[in-house]
Amino acid sequence: MIFSEGSGVNDSIYGKVQAPIRKYLESREEAYEKKSLLMEIFGEQKSNNWAEGYTGLTGFAGFKPVGENGAYPQEEVKEQDVKVIENMTWKDSFAISREMIDDNKSGAFKSQPEGFVKGYYRTRERHGAAMLAGAMSGLSRVQFDGWRFDATCCDGLPLFHTQHPSKVKKTLKQSNCFANTLTAADLGKVESAMQNFKGENGELLGIAPTTIVIPNDAALKKAAFEAVGSVDDPSTSNNAFNYQYGRWNILVWPYLNEFLASGAAPWMLLDKEHSDLVGSLIWQTRVELEVTSEKAGNDANVWKGYARFVAGFNDWRGVAVGGISGGDNL
Q: Enter the pTM of the model.
A: 0.87
Whether the CB-CB separation of 306 and 290 falls below 8 Å is answered with yes
Give the C-alpha separation, 66 to 79, whole Å.
27
* pLDDT confidence bin for 78, thresholds 50/70/90: low
Which of 58, 21, 75 shows the shortest CA–CA distance to 317?
58
Whether the CB-CB separation of 161 and 310 falls below 8 Å is answered with no
Residue 234 has pLDDT above 60, yes or no: no
pLDDT of residue 57: 59
pLDDT of residue 61: 64
Give the C-alpha separation, 87 to 285, whole Å.
8
**Which residue would you say has higher pLDDT here, 95 or 123?**
123
Q: pLDDT for 121-153, tens place per residue?
A: 999 999 999 999 999 999 999 999 999 999 999
Q: pLDDT for 14-37, tens place per residue?
A: 667 777 777 878 888 877 888 899
Q: What is the dihedral of CA 289, 294, 299, 301, to 10 degrees?
A: 40
Q: pLDDT for 46-75, tens place per residue?
A: 999 999 998 765 566 667 777 787 787 777
pLDDT of residue 144: 96
List, in sequence order, the alpha helices (H) in the chain.
Answer: 15-35, 38-41, 98-102, 108-136, 184-195, 218-228, 272-278
Q: pLDDT for 305-330, tens place per residue?
A: 999 999 999 999 999 999 999 999 99
Q: pLDDT for 256-282, tens place per residue?
A: 999 999 989 999 999 999 999 999 999
DSSP per position, 2-55: EEEE-TTSTTSTTHHHHHHHHHHHHHHHHHHHHH--HHHHSEEEE--SSEEEE-
pLDDT of residue 2: 79
Residue 115 has pLDDT above 80, yes or no: yes
In the chain, where the domains are located: 2-52+85-322
